[in-house]
Amino acid sequence: MSYLTEGYTLRSWLTTHDHKRIALLYAVAITAFFFVGGAAATMMRLELATPAGDLVSADTYNKLFTIHGVIMVWFFLIPSIPSVLGNFLVPMMIGAKDMAFPRLNLASWYIYVIGGAFTLAALVAGGVDTGWTFYTPYSTMFANGHVVLVIAGVFVVGFSSILTGLNIIVTVHRLRAPGLTWFRLPLFIWANYATSLILILATPVLAMTLTLIALERLAGIGIFNPALGGDPLLFQHLFWFYSHPAVYIMVLPAMGVASEIIPCFARRPVFGYRFMAYAILGIASIGFLVWGHHMFVSGQSLYAGMVFSMLSFLVAIPSAIKVFNWTATLYKGSITFSAPMLYALGFVGLFTIGGLTGLYLASLALDVHLTDTYFVIAHFHYIMVGGSVMAYLGGIHFWWPKISGRMYPEMWGRAAALLLFFGFNLTFFPQYLLGYLGMPRRYHEYAPELQVLNLFSSAGAVVLAAGYLLPLGYLGWSLLYGKRASANPWEATGLEWQTSSPPPQHNFHETPRVERGPYGYDPVR
């Protein structure tokens, strides 16, 4: 009897309190949003295949990139790893029977779906052209679209994030198995814990800021519009106070996933475990102090810019610690290039490129040249797509046997990982060059001499789209026809592997006792 066979009706799923089932509900919902956001991106790359704006109008293009940004950031990336893998794994990895607040957990899924419905309603009603950043005074005074509807959707879904974060923090504090001290926790737990702190401390700021935009739009007075005595810079400060840490909401859990996969397939304990844990906390806390690097050219004080620049460079230190430690974990390991490992290694490489190009953008003078160009687009896609999405998929493959009780087809898994890595670089590496050459973001046409690089990028997008459809196909296939998975097919050391695949309703028949730290791997000699 597993959690999957506890009930087969739709009702048994929609009223479940089981964290594992809620994780699957999230997985279904975010996958749907991922493909909506991806379709918008595909349209954009098609438009950009030619220099002239011929496929869609400028207005439609603006709506496409807004929809792409809003959906990918808030409806896919932010909930992806914490709400799906985190929900499934946090209680299992700490030897708990469920999350601390199971009903709240289900409620946050419903809140997410309601928020999603608002956003889809805005889409159907004609969309929004402000970009996902909702900059004032455009969003409050001039934009014609359904700004308030989209804001309502993002506001509502924010509470889903907050409640999930709160649930994870309390679960980690209160429900650890006997003997599981803080420094015996897997790094995936550390990462989701730190992420949850950001979720509960940053998301409310966004919620109130968006509320103020809606009020200003509806009432015609407010605090952001300069014509009314307000200050648009205030909006940018508040927005980026959330939206920079939001990047760490996306990438810290990805680091957690990589930290589980790499030791397992290198058969080596993770190098410098404590440093890895401290680096996670370091990134999470410094991440709160760097938001001004989005405003170097917006008229904030030069001195503020210098401080923000320095602090942004500082984040590179804990990030580099992580990259070096993953690499050192591989040293003298017995490496298997299985699909999860390929995804994880892809994550490390792409995250490194994204992180290093972030340093360009953190430099005051260079940023003047690069602001609002495709260089920025390439940079954050390397972090969010190359980093987070690769790690998310790696995690889905790694824990697929546990989640579904079936093995995915290994060759297909590897092929998809390699295809995605290739397609991703083909799509986004040319964008660094385009940005450096001065191509601005958010235009539906461009100078003809930039077409070759844009064609590379659009061709890459096609490969990428195929790469994302593949796992949908073969993972779905494996649900029915995949080989049955044993309890621990990877011979991994985490507590989640000590119970059957798929796990029983309350995870463990007996509460596990923990006697040592994680990652007790020995290399095969």
Interface residue list for Cu ion (CB under 5 A): 244
Q: Which two tokens stand for residue 120?
A: 């889809």
Distance between CA atoms of 399 and 268, rounded to whole angstroms?
A: 19
CB atoms within 10 A of CB 177: 16
**Of 165 and 263, which has the nearer Cβ to another protein?**
165
Q: Which listed range, 134-142, 173-181, 279-287, 350-358, lies at the site for another protein (CB under 8 A)?
A: 173-181
CA angle 37/401/350 to nearest 5° reads 45
Out of another protein, Cu ion, none, which partner does residue 244 contact, by CB within 5 to 8 A per kind?
Cu ion
What are the Cα distances from residue 194, in Å, to 154, 166, 282, 441? 22, 11, 9, 32
Should residue 418 be labelled a site residue for another protein when binding is judged by CB under 8 A? Answer: no
**Of 74 and 398, which has the nearer Cβ to another protein?**
74
Return left, alpha or beta for 372; rule: phi > 0 is left, psi -120 to 50 is alpha, else beta: left
Identity (one letter) of the amino acid at 427?
A: T
**Of 298 and 327, which has the nearer Cβ to another protein?**
298
Distance between CA atoms of 497 and 489, rounded to whole angstroms?
A: 9
Q: DSSP letters along 182-194, please?
A: GGGS-HHHHHHHH
Count of CA atoms in the C-beta half-sphere (13 A) of 372: 10
Distance between CA atoms of 295 and 289, rounded to whole angstroms?
A: 13
**Of 204 and 517, which has the nearer Cβ to another protein?**
204
In the complex, least distance from residue 72 CB atom to another protein, rounded to whole angstroms = 24
Should residue 212 be labelled a site residue for another protein when binding is judged by CB under 8 A? Answer: yes
**Of 244 and 402, which has the nearer Cβ to Cu ion?**
244
Should residue 166 be labelled a site residue for another protein when binding is judged by CB under 8 A? Answer: yes
267 with 524: CB under 8 angstroms? Answer: yes
Q: Which of 6, 53, 58, 97 binds another protein (CB under 8 A)?
A: 97
Should residue 514 be labelled a site residue for another protein when binding is judged by CB under 8 A? Answer: no
In the complex, least distance from residue 199 CB atom to another protein, rounded to whole angstroms = 9
Q: Which listed range, 46-54, 135-143, 234-242, 472-480, lies at the site for another protein (CB under 8 A)?
A: 234-242
Should residue 175 be labelled a site residue for another protein when binding is judged by CB under 8 A? Answer: yes
**Would you call 498 helix, strand, or coil by DSSP?**
helix
Should residue 48 be labelled a site residue for another protein when binding is judged by CB under 8 A? Answer: no
**Of 32 and 234, which has the nearer Cβ to another protein?**
234
225 with 201: CB under 8 angstroms? Answer: no
Q: Which of 45, 237, 293, 414 binds another protein (CB under 8 A)?
A: 237
Binding residues for another protein, total number by CB under 8 A: 41
Residues contributing to the site for another protein (CB under 8 A): 17, 91, 96-103, 162, 166-167, 169-170, 173-175, 200-205, 207-209, 212, 215, 219, 221-223, 228-231, 234, 237-238, 506
